Structure 1
């Protein structure tokens, strides 16, 4: 009898705890009164993908006379481990920072390059800012994988250096001088549901995350793949399955890094004009620079930094290119057909996607 009661008590405790976690971290659970009283306007999000020119756009928008934007990331909306109230307060604080800038009549934007990886971000904004516009950058999957992985490697060393600079010498060394933890790309790709700092087997599969908007009808294989991915993410984070968005007013502007870095002045101007029109700006965007470059390459590269064109990555590149063909075809044939999706210079946009069909390495 004692053990039976103990099992019942443990079961009740487990169920209660699980219910509390799921209830506390559910998306968008704020009263209409709170929304009406404190909701500051959010007009657009530079939402990713990582290493696809989001920092360059952030600085360009920062210079624009009709845009309010910070010079740092604002990723409260994609936080996975904060309560809804904490996320809400964080977003309002971020918006308060940019709206307090000395200007009126501007559109308000934030940059969060990992927002597309977060189902919760989309659902939160659907509830809180249903007319937000999304700017989504893409890049050849091979280069995106390399750049994103190397960026995380550099970031890990930066955190180590910052920790070592603190004056904690009175503590045992292992407490203040932690060593960065790395995972190889091979390991990441063979354990697809165990990402390393958001670098995963799926992080270059843009269509899996763009599907969250519900702009296209999914095929049966796509539904199965989506369910496998979302079920794995839910299992890792203890969050309920949120599903695809529906009945929303979101619009997306999709671009490729090739468009952003295009040396053709006419096409480059057309790209900036497309962004300007998408956001309803009357003044043109400034010329785009090249921000957030990883300088730890070549002789300065960290031991874990990869050159994905090396022969040791040939098989991995082949796998990524095969994925890229699927992604490019899906974007060309289905995504851009949606009336809610905008691109600039459609023929050139499509031609940049065609390069994903081939190995970019010499």
Structure 2
């Protein structure tokens, strides 16, 4: 396990409920290599945060094994904590204090003397570009500035692994892109990063390796490119009028095309995986016209991580995220 800084074997964690046990984590196996950015991708409630809390010693598993930096998280939690940094979704800053004061306090909590904590704080301020606001009260920070300070706090003890739970949730696109740059910079400095996310573009842009979890189980694992290659060809997405009535009629006809690899239903749209997208669109449009089916929209794209998620689970992660956003 020298090169594998996180190892999980048949990990399980169930929670009681009136309807029976909720299998939050149901037999998960994972390996994270030293120096990589590992992405744990899935919808809210899939089990991502439960796994993260076990790895950071905040929760004890029911069964299975979990090792971080070669240490058993269940048997050696104190040693594990000295090797990790953890940034939760809510963060952990003291808002009435300045950013620099927060960093120095964090260092002192790890046992550093004031001089060592101050030196490390100044190092992180330079590394994460915090100098413009490090001496301001945290209450005055923007969401992106506060999140960068959260990451700096997680790095004070020079961790072997930095765990980030939904690091960019709630940030606007500019601040998300800025934090992505900081995360990549940390990797270049030699930090292994384990992050959870339900943002497809984030996982694709940042991660060297991805595991997709759904209902407590790993449904796919690999590099972003390896996962997308599982969905061969190109993807045509079509929306039609009277979808529920017309889809059962049109799907068997679409499957007869020689270029058609796969047809999936995604909410009120169809996703068609084809060999030659430009030629396929022309023939699909001709078929819809013959069947007198009204087209609402059509797009052609390369396969995405959402296509992988749809194939593995029968649901679109992008649509699940959009639905959750509306419900909030």
- The normalised TM-score by structure 1 is 0.25
Structure number with greater CO (CA < 8 Å, separation at least 6) is 1
Say which structure is richer in helix: 1
- The normalised TM-score by structure 2 is 0.27
Which of 1 and 2 has greater Rg?
2
Say which structure is richer in strand: 2
